[in-house]
Each structure stands twice: as structure tokens, then as C-alpha cells.
């Protein structure tokens, strides 16, 4: 649903846009005004970032033309730098996109194909623990503003009722309450975007657990521990993000990495690789810059179910990429 704006909000946004353009023309940084304003009215993050980038482009072009007309600089001296910057930006974006998608496409070839996939996504949060029991799940396109091709994307994965019943039984034997949810329409983009790259033939049943958002970290870990017996034939995936602060993201995908994002990511990975799971459970007090990286925690919490499913609680980062200055994505694997 598109945001509905009254006349006052339109004037406010125009005023913020004018001020941001003025700042961009002088020194840059107008996005610090426009991005929060666009997010406040309900635009999704990717649309807010794209709108800000478009506005910044017009500001830069207008100021460059003005300075040129007033002969405040000689274009001969900066044309090669401009060309190099443009080529570098294009190549950087392509490389990041290639590395992240290419990595996922090749990841499944490194391991034995599982019989089942059990996934917990940051995009299905509930008060209690639920499991999708819909036998014919659809894809949920829980975003808008992208190209039409993405909405035409199909991934015909199926649920498995017998495996759903088995998981329910296992958890209840461990005194963990779980509800079979037959009203959940299907798989959110935290499920199908990754799996369509890893297993494009959709020939493996995909079972989805909800993320019980009010559970403690230890309770989430206990869910994972209860599921350890499934690992003989089931790939258990926690789908989220190492850092996820959209409000502080910048429009430039290849912007320098914010120190607070790098410090948090490095702390988490170090504790995963050293099997210091007690420190991870207490990450809210021990990790650096928690709320700068996760204003809300739903994108971090799936990690604890994956961690619990590991017998020795020791993992490693196979792949990492930073985007937009503070967005870190890691692929963590627990091989025991």
C-alpha cells in the first residue's frame, strides 16, 4: 500500500528536499535529512534510498553546472577523475552483486543435498512459536517498488505435512509449545530469495518455523537444541542479517564501512568461531554498538536457533559483504 500524504506533509517534504539539495550542493550529506523523512512517511527502505540518490544526483548536476558557468573550476582538471569515479562505482556495484549471488549459487555444491530444509526467517515474527502447515504455500512478495521481473519470480517449493508433524512432535517432547499455522500463506522473501539461488530446482521440501519474537535468547537456543536430531537429513537455516540499521544506511552501496558496524560484526564472528555461546547469549550487554546495528532485533535472533542446533556451538563465517555503509551480511555455517 502506498503512503497517503496530506497537503501539509507534501509541503514539509518539499521543504526538507530543498534544504537537503542546498546541503548537497555545498558539501554533500543531504541524505541525512531526506532518508529519515522518507522512512517516516512509510516508504520502504530501498525506495527511500533510491529516491534520495536520485535527488542527490540532480543536486550534484545542478551545482556542477552552476560552478562551471561561473568559471569557478576548470573541467579539464577533473574530467579524468570523474570518469575514474564513475567506472569505479559501476564496477564496485557489479562486483558486490556478483560475489553475493554467485556465492549462494555455488554454496549448495559444497555439501550433500539435504532431504528437507527447515528455515526461520526474520520476516515471519509471532508471539508464540508456529510452524507453517499450509500444504501448498505461495510466495509472499513482501516488498514493493522493484522491477516487474522480481514479482514474476517463481519458486515452486513444497511443504511436507509428515515432516511438519514430526517437528511438532519433537518439540513437544522437549516441552516446547508449538502451533500448526494453516493460515500462513507461504514463504516470505527471507526464505525464497536465498533458496532460489542455492537450490533453484525447488526439489527439496521447505518447512518454515516462525520467529517467536518475545522469546529470550536462551529459549531460542533451546528450540535449536531440540531440533539437533533433524540434522541427519535436514538443513536448518536462520535467515536474517548480521547488521540491520536501515535508517543509518547511506545511498551509496559501496560507501566506506561504518566502524560501529564492523566492530559489531567482528565481535559476533569471533565469538561464534571461538564457541563462546554464553557471551553471544548475553550480546545485549557484551557486544559493541548493539542498537546502532539492530534498532530492532528480529534480523539477529534467528542466529540463536541455528546456534542451538549445533552440537559444539562452533561455527565459521564462509562469506561476508558490506553494503550501504553499515549493512553486513554473513553466511555462517555450523558443520558439527
> Who's near 249: CB < 8 A, 6+ residues apart?
35, 45, 49, 324, 325, 326, 327
pLDDT tens digits for range 317-333: 888 889 889 999 888 99
Predicted pLDDT at 210: 96
**Portion of the chain with pLDDT greater than 70, in percent:** 72
Predicted pLDDT at 197: 86
Predicted pLDDT at 252: 85
pLDDT tens digits for range 282-294: 999 999 999 999 9
Cell numbers representing residue 59 in the block: 543536486
Predicted pLDDT at 154: 85
pLDDT tens digits for range 14-26: 877 777 767 766 6
Q: In terms of DSSP bridges, do strands 179-181 and 327-333 run parallel, antiparallel, or are they unpaired?
A: unpaired
Phi, psi of 146 (to 5 degrees): -90, 175
At the top level of CATH, the class of 101-333 is: alpha beta
Going across the sheet that includes 130-132, the strands are 179-181, 130-132, 206-212, 116-126, 234-239
Task: Return the minimum-mean-pLDDT range out of 9-13, 169-173, 273-277.
Answer: 9-13
pLDDT > 80? residue 220: yes
pLDDT band at 213 (very low <50, low <70, confident <90, very high): very high
Query: Is the dihedral angle over the CA atoms 184, 185, 189, 195 positive or is it negative?
Result: positive
pLDDT band at 52 (very low <50, low <70, confident <90, very high): low
pLDDT > 70? residue 44: no
Predicted pLDDT at 25: 62
Domain ranges of the chain: 7-73, 101-333
Question: Cα–Cα distance between 279 and 212 in angstroms, integer?
Answer: 21
Question: Cα–Cα distance between 30 and 316 in angstroms, integer?
Answer: 39
Identify which has the larger pLDDT, 226 or 149: 226
Q: Contact, 137 vs 185, CB < 8 A?
A: yes
pLDDT tens digits for range 90-136: 444 444 444 456 677 777 777 889 999 999 999 999 999 999 999 88
Average pLDDT, the chain: 82
Task: Return the minimum-mean-pLDDT range out of 166-175, 187-196, 263-272.
Answer: 187-196
Q: Contact, 251 vs 52, CB < 8 A?
A: yes
Question: Cα–Cα distance between 220 and 212 in angstroms, integer?
Answer: 8
pLDDT band at 12 (very low <50, low <70, confident <90, very high): confident
Identify which has the larger pLDDT, 110 or 202: 202
Give the HSE-up count for residue 242: Cα atoms under 13 Å, Cβ half-sphere: 25
pLDDT > 50? residue 180: yes
Predicted pLDDT at 7: 74
Helices (H), the chain: 7-26, 31-40, 45-69, 79-107, 148-151, 161-173, 189-198, 217-226, 259-273, 277-281, 283-286, 290-293, 302-309
pLDDT band at 89 (very low <50, low <70, confident <90, very high): very low
Identify which has the larger pLDDT, 60 or 242: 242
Phi, psi of 244 (to 5 degrees): -160, 75
Work out the average pLDDT over 194-199: 88
Predicted pLDDT at 88: 47
Amino acid at each position: 500500500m502506498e503512503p497517503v500524504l496530506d497537503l501539509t506533509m507534501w509541503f514539509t517534504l518539499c521543504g526538507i528536499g530543498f534544504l537537503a539539495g542546498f546541503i548537497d550542493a555545498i558539501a554533500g550529506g543531504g541524505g541525512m535529512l531526506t532518508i529519515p523523512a522518507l522512512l517516516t512517511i512509510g516508504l520502504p527502505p530501498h525506495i527511500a534510498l533510491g529516491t534520495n540518490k536520485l535527488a542527490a544526483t540532480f543536486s550534484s548536476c545542478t551545482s556542477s553546472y552552476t560552478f562551471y558557468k561561473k568559471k569557478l573550476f576548470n573541467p579539464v582538471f577533473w574530467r579524468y577523475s570523474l570518469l575514474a569515479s564513475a567506472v569505479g562505482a559501476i564496477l564496485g556495484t557489479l562486483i558486490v552483486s556478483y560475489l553475493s549471488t554467485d556465492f549462494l549459487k555455488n554454496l549448495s555444491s559444497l555439501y550433500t543435498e539435504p532431504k528437507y530444509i527447515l528455515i526461520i526467517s526474520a520476516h515471519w515474527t509471532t508471539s508464540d512459536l508456529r510452524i507453517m502447515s499450509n500444504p501448498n504455500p505461495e510466495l509472499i512478495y513482501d516488498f514493493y517498488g522493484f522491477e516487474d521481473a522480481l514479482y514474476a519470480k517463481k519458486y515452486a517449493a513444497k511443504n511436507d505435512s509428515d515432516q511438519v508433524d514430526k517437528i511438532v512432535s519433537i518439540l513437544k517432547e522437549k516441552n516446547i509449545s508449538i502451533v500448526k499455522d494453516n493460515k500462513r500463506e507461504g514463504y516470505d522473501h527471507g526464505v525464497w530469495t536465498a533458496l532460489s539461488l542455492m537450490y533453484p530446482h525447488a526439489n527439496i521440501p521447505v518447512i518454515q518455523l516462525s520467529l517467536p519474537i518475545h522469546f529470550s535468547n536462551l529459549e531460542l537456543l533451546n528450540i535449536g537444541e531440540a531440533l539437533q536430531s533433524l540434522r541427519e537429513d535436514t538443513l536448518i537455516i536462520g535467515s536474517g542479517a548480521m547488521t540491520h540499521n536501515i535508517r543509518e544506511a547511506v545511498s551509496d552501496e559501496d560507501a566506506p564501512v561504518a566502524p560501529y558496524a564492523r566492530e559489531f560484526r567482528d565481535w559476533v564472528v569471533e565469538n561464534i568461531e571461538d564457541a563462546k555461546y554464553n557471551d553471544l547469549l548475553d550480546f545485549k550487554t557484551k557486544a559493541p554498538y548493539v542498537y546502532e546495528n539492530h534498532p530492532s532485533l528480529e534480523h539477529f535472533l534467528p542466529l540463536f536457533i541455528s546456534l542451538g542446533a549445533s552440537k559444539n556451538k562452533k561455527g565459521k563465517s564462509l562469506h561476508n559483504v558490506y553494503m550501504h555503509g553499515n549493512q553486513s551480511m554473513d553466511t555462517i555455517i555450523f558443520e558439527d
